[in-house]
């Protein structure tokens, strides 16, 4: 079953009319960051053209009906707590352009072999009660964490989602620090997740509610900086749930596209940009794969990965040697494999959770998460992969026929496979056979907690690292964060040391993808930072240009 405009727009046919010859701004790529940037530029009255390589819009925010008739599957991302918490995306008012959010009964949870579930209920007291039943004291510890969130959560989000350094938002967060324990809180946020989870909680259920969210990024459980992501996602989940767009992720992208078009912007699909043309240190045009050139009066925003921008789209002579040197050390986040299933009935969990969670984390201990991280770091395909699982019909019944389930799971892999920690001798070719063997391994992981799952499978689709990248060039081997989230490539070091902002060494060219600060996830901040930088520079040029124009007019006697 599909709902109107669920994924139809994201499978749009190529635009037949010729592309514009000159515009104020070209946005390369229609991922969420590209579409946010395009919207903000169009709001400022700029003539904006988005050029998208794929036949559909949305980048990693897309859905399709390819797995099984009557089912909608999100091709990549699914849950958008960061979008709902993002001031930029909230301010777009996408609900007026057709976007409707919905949520599963529980935001997220983890099953245990004992039959217990760790679950985030919509009501924090209910979460606390359920944790207390599993391990007395953990409920209070959860509520203490929620109180910290109440005191400083909004300010932390604002500081993370604004350009680096976050002067005003950072000051607001600093002012709140005394309420949450001052520097102890700062220390906790950058401390390794294992230490924080062990100190805050006594039971594995509460620990996993926190730690499994850290494992969405590629930071080791024992690594510096692993706590902040887990805390943020867990607390947003408790506060706002893990919302999904009614009808599929594509409906989210479509609403951004509709908003853009109503503001006068234009999107052309099936149009790969192959070159950013630079003249006298300024981006002046882009060239497409078909050989067309579009001149830009103001700016180019690149919603492409940092390596793609600096190594492919720009001519070597236009990239400072320093940047090229740094790029050699650019680190991708983990590779990814994703499996989609169309199920004839809901997942047959051995013990049904009291509320169905939209997101299910499959791993029982921090040790399991740590082992998976170590295996990947050693180039090994994980033996017992940590799975992030989406029960999409539980969150949004329009995704599948009544009483059925549209299920997916993904897990991470090394980019360069040196061996298989599991029994299948997967070599890293990631051809059909290896994809299927890995998908079997993932399926068996779920089946351990949901015996009989296989009997309910109507269809299965496997998107290995190559298939991901073929559908979105930014997802190199399926890397979903535009580069590692580890501290050595964050803040002023993202994407390479010394850049840290959307500005590039080329005037009028801005990096607006997840490769830029603050990184992966659908929050639109990278796109918004790029658009605001472009608008700010244009204002500055006008201000500087005005006296010059007056002088020129005086000189010429006009
Ligand atoms: C499997 C998976 C699951 C995820 N789950 C979640 C989730 O649940 N929640 C969440 O918040 N985040 C999730 N993410 C991460 C999130 O989707 C990304 O961080 C986000 O989409 C990044 O947005 P972006 O605009 O920077 O890039 P992208 O979304 O990758 O978009 C880039 C766009 O640019 C286009 N492009 C690239 N090169 C060119 C070119 N030369 N010319 C023209 N067009 C070009 C691409 O085709 C693409 O459309 C997930 C990602 C993946 C892969």
Distance, in Å, from the CA atom of 343 to the CA atom of 347, rounded to the nearest integer, reads: 8
Cβ of residue 309 lying under 6 Å from some atom of ligand 1: no
Cβ of residue 282 lying under 6 Å from some atom of ligand 1: no
Let me know if residue 31 belongs to a domain: yes
Let me know if residue 234 belongs to a domain: no
Q: Looking at the CA of residue 81, tell me the nearest atom of ligand 1.
A: 11
Residue 514 is part of which domain span? Answer: 9-80+246-330+481-542
Same domain, 378 and 398: yes
Same domain, 397 and 465: yes
The tally of domains found in the chain comes to: 2
Same domain, 352 and 404: yes
> Residue 407: CB partners within 8 Å, gap ≥ 6?
340, 341, 342, 343, 347, 389, 390, 391, 392
Residues counted in the chain: 558
Distance, in Å, from the CA atom of 73 to the CA atom of 11, rounded to the nearest integer, reads: 13
Cβ of residue 128 lying under 6 Å from some atom of ligand 1: no
Distance, in Å, from the CA atom of 327 to the CA atom of 197, rounded to the nearest integer, reads: 35
Provide the β-strand partners of residue 282: 279, 507
Q: Model confidence over 128-170: pLDDT tens digits?
A: 999 999 999 999 999 999 999 999 999 988 888 887 778 788 8
Same domain, 472 and 530: no
Residue 221, CB-side half-sphere exposure with 13 Å CA sphere: 23
Same domain, 488 and 473: no
CB 518 within 8 A of CB 526: yes
Same domain, 282 and 402: no
User: What is the 522 CA–ligand 1 centroid distance (Å)?
Assistant: 8
Q: Model confidence over 245-297: pLDDT tens digits?
A: 999 999 999 999 999 999 999 999 999 999 999 999 999 999 999 999 999 99
Same domain, 341 and 464: yes
Angle of CA points 344, 349, 352, to nearest 5° = 115
H/E stretch holding 362: strand 357-362
Same domain, 348 and 414: yes
Let me know if residue 264 belongs to a domain: yes
pLDDT at residue 525 tops 90: yes
- Mean pLDDT over 302-319 rounds to 96
Let me know if residue 299 belongs to a domain: yes
What CA–CA distances, in Å, run from 357 to 394, 423, 449? 7, 31, 14
E strand residue ranges, 193-322: 244-245, 266-268, 273-279, 282-288, 293-302
Q: Which of 461, 478, 495 is the last residue of a domain?
A: 478
Cβ of residue 53 lying under 6 Å from some atom of ligand 1: yes
pLDDT at residue 211 tops 50: yes
Q: Which of 459, 478, 497 is the last residue of a domain?
A: 478
Interstrand relation of 387-391 and 357-362 (parallel, antiparallel or unpaired): antiparallel
Same domain, 325 and 340: no
The whole-number pLDDT of residue 557 equals: 64
Q: Looking at the CA of residue 390, tell me the nearest atom of ligand 1.
A: 8
pLDDT category, 15, cuts 50, 70, 90?
low
Q: Which two tokens stand for residue 463?
A: 């998107």
ipTM of the complex: 0.99
């Amino acid at each position: 079953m599909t709902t109107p405009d669920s994924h139809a727009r994201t499978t749009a046919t190529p635009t037949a009319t010729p592309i514009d010859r000159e515009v104020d701004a070209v946005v390369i790529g229609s991922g969420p960051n590209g579409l946010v940037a395009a919207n903000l530029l169009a709001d400022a009255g700029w003539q904006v053209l988005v050029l998208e390589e794929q036949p559909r819009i949305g980048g990693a925010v897309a859905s399709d009906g390819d797995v099984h008739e009557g089912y909608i599957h999100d091709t990549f991302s699914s849950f958008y707590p960061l979008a709902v918490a993002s001031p930029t995306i909230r301010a777009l008012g996408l609900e007026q352009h057709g976007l409707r959010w919905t949520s599963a009964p529980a935001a997220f949870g983890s099953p245990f072999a004992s039959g217990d579930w760790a679950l985030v209920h919509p009501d924090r007291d209910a979460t606390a009660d359920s944790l207390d039943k599993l391990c007395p004291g953990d409920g209070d510890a959860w509520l203490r964490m929620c109180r910290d969130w109440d005191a400083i959560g909004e300010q932390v989000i604002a500081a993370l989602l604004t350009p680096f350094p976050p002067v005003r938002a950072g000051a607001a967060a600093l002012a709140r620090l005394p309420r949450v324990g001052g520097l102890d809180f700062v220390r906790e946020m950058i401390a390794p997740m294992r230490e924080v989870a062990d100190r805050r909680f006594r039971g594995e259920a509460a620990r996993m509610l926190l730690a499994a969210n850290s494992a969405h990024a590629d930071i080791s459980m024992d690594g510096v900086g692993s706590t902040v992501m887990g805390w943020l996602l867990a607390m947003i989940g408790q506060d706002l749930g893990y919302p999904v767009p009614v009808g599929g992720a594509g409906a989210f992208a479509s609403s951004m596209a509709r908003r853009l078009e109503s503001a006068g912007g234009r999107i052309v699909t099936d149009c790969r940009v192959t070159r950013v043309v630079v003249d006298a240190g300024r981006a002046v045009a882009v060239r497409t794969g078909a050989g067309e050139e579009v001149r830009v009066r103001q700016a180019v925003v690149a919603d492409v990965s940092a390596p793609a921008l600096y190594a492919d789209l720009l001519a070597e002579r236009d990239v400072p040697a320093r940047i090229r040197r740094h790029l050699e050390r650019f680190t991708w986040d983990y590779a990814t494999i994703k499996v989609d299933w169309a199920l004839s009935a809901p997942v047959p969990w051995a013990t049904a959770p009291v509320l169905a969670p939209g997101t299910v984390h499959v791993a029982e201990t921090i040790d399991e998460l740590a082992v998976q991280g170590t295996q990947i770091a050693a180039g090994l395909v994980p033996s017992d992969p940590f799975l992030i699982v989406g029960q999409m019909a539980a969150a949004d019944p329009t995704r599948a026929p009544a009483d059925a389930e549209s299920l997916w799971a993904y897990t991470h892999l090394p980019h360069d496979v040196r061996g298989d920690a599991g029994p299948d001798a997967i070599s890293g070719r990631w051809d059909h056979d290896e994809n299927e063997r890995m998908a079997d391994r993932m399926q068996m992981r779920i089946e351990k907690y949901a015996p009989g799952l296989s009997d309910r499978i109507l269809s299965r689709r496997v998107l290995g690292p190559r298939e991901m990248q073929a559908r979105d060039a930014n997802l190199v081997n399926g890397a979903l964060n535009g580069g590692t989230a580890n501290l050595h490539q964050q803040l002023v070091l993202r994407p390479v040391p010394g850049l840290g902002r959307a500005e590039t060494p080329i005037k009028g060219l801005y990096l607006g993808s997840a490769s830029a600060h603050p990184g992966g996830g659908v929050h639109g901040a990278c796109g918004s930072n790029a658009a605001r930088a472009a608008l700010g520079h244009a204002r500055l040029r006008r201000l500087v240009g005005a006296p010059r124009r007056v002088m020129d007019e005086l000189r010429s006697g006009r």
